[in-house]
A and B are shown apart, each in its own frame.
Chain A
Amino acid sequence: DVKVTQSSRYLVKRTGEKVFLECVQDMDHENMFWYRQDPGLGLRLIYFSYDVKMKEKGDIPEGYSVSREKKERFSLILESASTNQTSMYLCASSPGLVDEQFFGPGTRLTVL
């Protein structure tokens, strides 16, 4: 069964901390994505990667960075967490252009 896993389901951090969210897929997919999901705003794309070491900004990249050193792993980094980054973070992967995306279970991050 295909799977996308995320390192934590729930995370609580303090303002100013550096936060790492990790995502791993076992489907050998080329593309990986990070979204945040907020009530009334739906899903918004933060960053995506179409190959190892390649990344592209999405709609809301400010305050975030990403790393993809291996094909199966895509990390989202909050350099200095702020309270407005409290959200649900969803990772996804897809095999190619305009293909179905497979989602992980999400990480609910709270920044105090």
Chain B
Amino acid sequence: DAGVTQSPTHLIKTRGQQVTLRCSPKSGHDTVSWYQQALGQGPQFIFQYYEEEERQRGNFPDRFSGHQFPNYSSELNVNALLLGDSALYLCASSLARQGFMNTEAFFGQGTRLTVV
């Protein structure tokens, strides 16, 4: 089992550019959540995707958008990059059960985004 895989591992972008980060969930998982972890801080919830729809969103601007594909993999897109978007972006996958909270979330190793 490959677990949660994220690509790329590192990325450098220029302010104003757009970036796409990718996540493949753990085998059997159908839900993907994205988190932003700034240096020295805990992760902050961006949004969650289930059944190819955004199920919930944290306090992030519309510049942050996502997508989930039929195979449950997901993308995080950030437009008009700001210096403050520099962070580690973590993807977590889990299995949704109707009527219950998500079970344990498995995290990937993250994508380190640097905006210059």
B is a partner of A: no
Which of A's residues lie within 8 Å of B, judged by CB? none
Which of B's residues lie within 8 Å of A, judged by CB? none
